Amino acid sequence: MTHAAPHVAVLISNPAAPAVDEDAIASARAVLPGAGEVRVLNRGIAAEIAVGPDADITALRAALEGRPVDVALVPAAERRKKLFLADMDSTMIGQECIDELADYAGMKAHVSAITERAMRGEIAFEPALRERVALLKGLPLAVVDDVIAERIRLTPGGTALVRTMKANGAHTLLVSGGFTLFTQRVAAMIGFHADRANVLVTDGDAFAGLVEEPILGREAKLAALVEMREALGLAPSETMAVGDGANDLAMIGEAGFGVAYHAKPAVAAAARFRIDHGDLTALLYLQGYAAGDFVTD
């Protein structure tokens, strides 16, 4: 009688730069005690290896150092998650919406510098947001349509990630320290069930330079995860969260699978899982989905 391995080692590269070849897999197996069966999830892009209980993530990373390959040690049981929360800016989209709005006000460099410090955790999120929003006062609301049409780009793999999880019974929530003017549109484009974000105060057809209180930040993201988990009757292990900035840390820390995606250094260091090379389909491979399982429409 055979028993399933308690963990699997997952190797993931960016689909645009396949690097999970036979040599990479062999290098990984060489440092994985009890390495067993290899399952190819997407040839050249993702594979997983059954491993014993003594597998070490540090040794695995060292074995593949210099290769554009993300690695993770994942429990073999309960991999497919039933609740998924995602940050928006620099996670589900490639931009920071407030920085793009500020560009229309001629203040992108100034606002971007504040955004970067806040996302690194060097300054508190809430006052930093109020300061940046104040600089938007008088900017016409119509620029939102321009920003979405001309600047915002969905992160590769995001639509497949959300739609595949939904097709397999997961609830999906886009939760952002940004603004509902963007999250509502982005959530609809990708296919999220719902979205939560901050509300910008308007004055006629222009921004008033204010954001409604209380501000949705780090603690509100955590609260959203706990609230949705309890409403759905799920165990903590059945949840997944992804983000890149300091205000995502509590949410990432609480989730069964907490993923730092192309994240700021402090976030990547704190998260259980980190994706530095792959696109968002990496989060499907972590859950054991193969490319043939992906839903894209």
Give CA–CA dist 44/16, Å, rounded.
10
- pLDDT score of 53 more than 90: no
Q: Are 273 and 129 spatial neighbours (Cβ–Cβ below 8 Å)? A: no
Residue in the structure block whose two tokens are 């780009």: 153
Neighbours of 222 (CB within 10 A): 22
Query: Taking the alpha carbons of 283, 69, 271, 72 in that order, is the dihedral positive or negative?
Result: positive
Q: Which of 21, 54, 70, 87 is catalytic?
A: 87
Residue type, 92: M
- pLDDT score of 116 more than 60: yes
Q: What global pTM score does this model have?
A: 0.96
The arithmetic mean of pLDDT across residues 93-108, rounded, is 95
Q: Which two tokens stand for residue 261?
A: 């995606």
Q: Which residues make beta-bridge pairs with 242?
A: 86, 259
205 is catalytic: no
Nearest to 86 by CA among 163, 9, 200, 167: 163
The arithmetic mean of pLDDT across residues 220-240, rounded, is 98
Question: 83-293: what CATH class?
Answer: alpha beta
Q: Are 40 and 47 spatial neighbours (Cβ–Cβ below 8 Å)? A: yes
Q: Are 18 and 44 spatial neighbours (Cβ–Cβ below 8 Å)? A: yes
- The residues spanned by each domain of the chain are 7-75, 83-293
Residue in the structure block whose two tokens are 């969260």: 241
Residue 78 binned pLDDT confidence (cut-offs 50, 70, 90): confident
CATH topology of domain 7-75: Alpha-Beta Plaits (3.30.70)
State phi, psi for 31 to the nearest 5 degrees.
Answer: -110, 10
The pLDDT assigned to 2 comes to: 44
Q: Which two tokens stand for residue 29?
A: 């197996």
21 is catalytic: no
Q: Which of 89, 99, 195, 244 is catalytic?
A: 89
